[in-house]
Amino acid sequence: MTSLPAVPLTIEGASVLHQMMRVKWPAWRALPSSDRDSIVSEAAAVLGRDRSAMYSLLGHKGDLMFVHFRDSFEQLHQAELAISKLRLTDFLETTTSYLSVVELGLYESTQKVYNSLAERGIEPFSEAWNAEIEETLRRQREAMKVRLWPDIPEARYICFYPMDRRRGEQKNWYQESMIDRTQMMHEHGMIGRRYAGEVRQIITGSIGFDDWEWGVDLFAEDPLVFKKLIYEMRFDEVSAVYALFGTFYVGLRLRAPELSALLGI
């Protein structure tokens, strides 16, 4: 038998785009109030609808963050184009963006199906192997449909950050065995479950799409839960040994009618 694959199975769902923007305040202030009102009214009619949400960012990293959930990259492209055509974008500067897809890792299911196939002597990547793997993925997609195609939670606060698994030097996540990675991910997930009533987490995969490997969105009514959850996870082996974190963005949900107040002079 060929050795079993090291790559865990995943299932993917919604396509996701984060756009971080900074307002060009001097140019915006220079406009007559009637022009500003007209521009905001036009933007409010487009932003924050069709599985998109706006957030007012805290800190120096930007003023606005737009989050879009769509069924495909083509639809994300249309959402991006719709924003770029607004007159408001003449007064916005993109600071960064992040492209990814909702991803659920199937470590435990992978372990079970790989072992089952190996016990029956089915060669990896053979026709019989591929057929059973695809059936496993089909069942998981159906069972996890709600998680794969979520609506953006209505929570008041968002925390978004990208992350990697460590590679190189003395620790390399991708060289650990499937059994060890499965156990570590199980223990890691148990911490998140304890916060289930306080925070909603959506994990997106971005390998091949952006500069980091995953994006993490946390949604909550109380922003302190972000600190508590992430701090506790830092003591977990997956984070303490293997995790690398990018820039954190924290924002408040901004409804379309509130855009005028944010941009008011």
Q: What is the pLDDT of residues 64-73, one digit of tens each?
A: 999 999 999 9
Alpha-carbon span 147 to 49, nearest angstrom: 20
* Residues 250, 226 contacting (CB under 8 angstroms): yes
Q: What is the mean pLDDT of the chain?
A: 92
CA separation, residue 71 to residues 15, 50, 74, 98, 146 (Å): 6, 11, 8, 16, 13
pLDDT in tens, 51-95: 999 999 999 999 999 999 999 999 999 999 999 999 999 999 999
User: Per-domain residue ranges for the chain?
Assistant: 14-102+255-263
**Residues 111/182, Cβ–Cβ less than 8 Å:** yes
Cα–Cα distance, 12 to 16 (Å, whole number): 11
The angle formed by the CA atoms of residues 144, 79 and 17, to the nearest 5 degrees, is: 50
In this structure, the strands spanning 64-70 and 10-23 are antiparallel
Query: Domain spanning 14-102+255-263 has what CATH number?
Result: 3.30.70.1030
Residues assigned a catalytic role: 161
Q: Is the pTM of this model over 0.85?
A: yes
